[in-house]
Amino acid sequence: MRERELVLDQYNAKVYKNRKEHILQIDDDTENRTITANTRSIPGIITNRGCCYAGCKGVVLGPLKDALTLTHGPIGCGFYSWGTRRNKAKTENGENFIQYCFSTDMQEPDIVFGGETKLRKAIDEAMELFHPKTILICSTCPVGLIGDDIHAVAAEAEKKYGITCVAFSCEGYKGVSQSGGHHIANNGVMRHIIGTGDAPVSKKYKVNILGEYNIGGDGWETERILKRIGYEVLAVLTGDGSVESLRNSHQADLNLVMCHRSINYIAEMMHTKYGIHWLKVNFIGIEATIQTLRDMADYFGDSELKQRTEEVIADELAAIAEAHTYFRSKLEGKTAALYVGGSRSHHYQALLADFGITTVLAGYEFAHRDDYEGRDMLPFIKEDADSKNIESITVEPDPEKFHAFLSKEKYEELKDKIPLNSYKGLIQDMKSGSIVVDDLNHFETEEFLRLLKPDIFLSGIKDKYVLQKANVLSRQLHSYDYSGPYSGFNGAINFARDITMGIYTPVWKFVVPPWKNHSTLQATLAEVSE
Ligand code: CFM
Ligand code: HCA
């Protein structure tokens, strides 16, 4: 039996029926590579998924440094999303709210009698203390259940203070994971922020970076390389990003899409509304970064830019050559398992391959089928009650601001050469025999560890203890275990150094858990008095 069947066979009939659709073992049959994704987790199973509020507030909106993001709900939601995602930001124009946690701290009486008064008061207090130009309100579960009209309160605040105030109905229970929250955030940013500015931009090669959240400084490393070549980065969505820069982002010539899962909605809407094409990029991995830089140069089609691109690539490669060879000699032949929320489980396979590491298992917490199978299959995704619950907005071409950089003919010529308005799926890049799992749970993690014996397991805080207890090297691919950046040329070396340190310092193998030596189930009987 193959590994997939060995794991699935342990489930009862009902769970088996569900999970068999979410686990795939890649074989040579290229026809049969479909998977079920973006559906509800099985109650009682230990999943690593988060909620809709986490996707909206924590992921997409949280990094916007000049916006005061106010969590309307009990304090736990705001507290948990306070600084845990490592999206770094530098203060600009004196404004940077991301180190704060703003919450209405709802209590029982607010749930019973309504929380709008408290929300209004919180906005007044925020204005008095911080004078923000933008306030973003994010709802948590109870707000949706009691029906507070946060959108009306936001409209009032805009009038009262002359600011931008946008409300997001991203109650945690909406959708099946963080993914619904990404979509809700994309809709609000598109409706209320993008394209509302008119600051003049003059430079050639104007790009936005979409889906780069500057975890561990990744975005800074990417921008450094782009600037060396001569690109002007108008806005980053949303790592170290600002509402101010998003307002003017509609003037770009090209949108670079790093994490498509969290932001493909905006990329597509900006294409329709402003004519801006988007290019799927990957700055994780040496070869991937080189490919992306060449794709970008092909898009602009300028010979000077192409030459400058090659010069920078050669220079950056020379600077890391020695370290690359050294770490490759240490890591070649190792195997890895990757389990993160979305895009990273795909992106990091390129970086691992740079050092000769093979991926034997990869999975996403909340990706959709197109992330696994490629964007071409989008029309075949069937909507269900959960996905219909998340609003999809449509936009029209803007008569004044529409400005396609490529002619129709040029687009047709380029689209088969570079990933324009498209992306491949993770399954398409995985080797025969490897395993793909959607919404991997802790039971399956333990079982696949036993069967596949990967040298490294890259995932997150919720399962790292499972891995460490199994004596397997775990690195957190969400937070980078407080290291980074891992993007671009220098980032690749940082990553290889961290992995090498872990592999050659196998501390967990030397720790003997106390229950292996003696029984830890000890108790004393209380004396019974007569
Ligand atoms: Fe995109 Fe991300 Fe990811 Fe994501 Fe996330 Fe993240 Fe992630 Mo954690 S936006 S899908 S919702 S690349 S927070 S920066 S690490 S699960 S793989
Ligand atoms: C989230 C954020 C998270 C969690 C990380 C983890 C992040 O999904 O709400 O589970 O280790 O990257 O901070 O994905």
SS3 state of residue 349: helix
Q: Computed over its alpha carbons, how large is the radius of gyration of the chain?
A: 24
Give the whole-angstrom CA distance, residue 348 versus residue 344.
Answer: 6
**Is 224 noted as a catalytic residue in this protein?**
no
The pLDDT of residue 28: 76
Does 324 contact ligand 1 (Cβ within 6 A)? no
Q: Is residue 63 part of a domain?
A: yes
Does 342 contact ligand 1 (Cβ within 6 A)? yes
Give the whole-angstrom CA distance, residue 289 versus residue 286.
Answer: 5
**Those residues with Cβ within 8 angstroms of residue 473's Cβ, 6 or more apart along the chain or in another chain:** 455, 456, 457, 467, 499, 502, 503, 506, 508
The pLDDT of residue 528: 67
Q: List the domain range (segments joined by +) for residue 125.
A: 52-175
Ligand 1: which residue has its CA nearest to atom 3?
A: 342
Q: Is residue 238 part of a domain?
A: no
Ligand found nearest the CA of 474: 2
Q: Is residue 84 part of a domain?
A: yes
Catalytic residue among 4, 19, 22, 85: 85
The pLDDT of residue 496: 98
The pLDDT of residue 210: 98
Q: Is residue 97 part of a domain?
A: yes
Within 13 Å of residue 67, how many CA atoms lie on the same side as its CB? 29
DSSP 161-216: HSSEEEEE---TTSSSSTHHHHHHHHHHHHHHTTT--------SSEEEEEEE--BT
Q: Is residue 32 part of a domain?
A: no
Catalytic residue among 37, 52, 54, 496: 54
Q: Is residue 151 part of a domain?
A: yes
**Is 182 noted as a catalytic residue in this protein?**
yes
Determine the distance separating the centroid of ligand 2 and the alpha carbon of 478, expressed in angstroms: 6
Angle ∠(138,180,122) on CA atoms, nearest 5:
5
Does 86 contact ligand 1 (Cβ within 6 A)? no
Give the whole-angstrom CA distance, residue 164 versus residue 244.
Answer: 11
Q: Is residue 43 part of a domain?
A: no
Ligand 1: which residue has its CA nearest to atom 13?
A: 59
With 0-12 / 13-18 / 19 or more C-beta atoms within 10 angstroms meaning exposed / middle / buried, residue 304 is: exposed
The pLDDT of residue 444: 97
Q: Is residue 506 part of a domain?
A: no
Q: How many domains does the chain have?
A: 1
CATH number of residue 62's parent domain: 3.40.50.1980
The pLDDT of residue 93: 87
Give me the interface pTM, i.e. the ipTM. Answer: 0.98
The pLDDT of residue 30: 67
pLDDT below 50 — which residues of the chain?
none
Long-range contacts of 4-11 (CB under 8 A, 24+ apart): 4/435, 6/447, 6/451, 7/444, 7/447, 7/448, 7/451, 10/447
Determine the distance separating the centroid of ligand 1 and the alpha carbon of 221, expressed in angstroms: 18
Which atom of ligand 1 is least distant from the CA of 364?
17
Instruction: List 474's β-bridge partners, or say none.
Output: 457
